Amino acid sequence: MVERPIRTVCRQRFTLLEVLVAVTVLAVLMPAVFMTFSAGLASYRRCRDYGDLLQDVRGALMLLEHDLERAVPVGLSGNTYTANTFSFVVQSQVEKRQSEITYSFAGGVLTREVRPLSEGGESFTSAQLLSGVQSLIFEYQLNKNWVQSAPKGTCPSFLRVQYSSVNGIAAESCVYEVAMPRQALVTDGANP
């Protein structure tokens, strides 16, 4: 019979020095990993907040554009065209009732107010459309010039909304222009 050599199984164990080196490496790498993760999380939150703000701005400007589509050439002499307030008269297509809609910006908040001008109209409503904006300015185009205030009795051909916000460290700003409806270009006897 052929004899086989007997293998001895020997268990390798970590020495104390190897364990100390591994713990030291982990102690050095963990703060770096934690800082990278924290920076990524903070960046995600800033981007999410900015995306939410942009979505709110888009919604407010779409509502403003929709309201302008319903603007009527009545009472234009009473409209307000200033840097912080923009108001105009709209008419319901179904009920033929008129309301005055006012957009105003104060204290970082854009507010929309609807005030009925006729009996039986909808009740007065006020809603905050946008908050967290650093500045918002209404500008109006009169005779191819942009102004922040238009005289009563005139109707601008374009409305420009400039807003800016602070996103973390950087400031973001944007300009939105919308044409005033053609029917509202008729004024109450005054020249635009």
| Structural domain spans, the chain | 40-88+128-185
- Best CA proximity match to 178, nearest among 151, 154, 157: 157
Q: How far is CA 108 from the centre of its chain?
A: 12
Q: DSSP for 154-186, please give it.
A: ---SEEEEEEEEEETTEEEEEEEEEEPPGGGG-
SS3 category, 150: coil
| Res 41: pLDDT | 93
> What H or E segment, with its residue span, contains residue 105?
strand 98-106
Q: What is the pLDDT of residue 46?
A: 83
- Averaged in consecutive runs of 10 residues, what is the pLDDT profile of the chain (192 residues)? 67 85 93 93 86 83 84 63 85 76 88 81 77 83 85 78 69 77 48 39
**For the whole prediction, is pTM greater than 0.85?**
no
What is residue 144's three-state secondary structure? Answer: coil
Buried b (16+ CB within 10 A) or exposed e, 151-165: eeebbbeebbbbbeb
DSSP 8-state class, residue 15 = -
pLDDT at 27: 93
Round to whole Å and give the CA distance between 133 and 66.
22
CA distance 180 to 185: 7
* CB atoms inside a 10 Å sphere around CB 45: 11
What does the block give as tokens for 141?
């185009």
CA distance 95 to 92: 6
**According to the model, what pLDDT value does residue 125 have?**
83
Judged by phi (left if over 0) then psi (alpha if -120 to 50, else beta), residue 144 lies in left
* Residues recorded for the chain: 192
Quick one: which H or E segment has residue 33? Answer: helix 16-69
Rounded to an integer, what distance in angstroms lies between the CA atom of residue 132 and that of residue 54?
A: 11
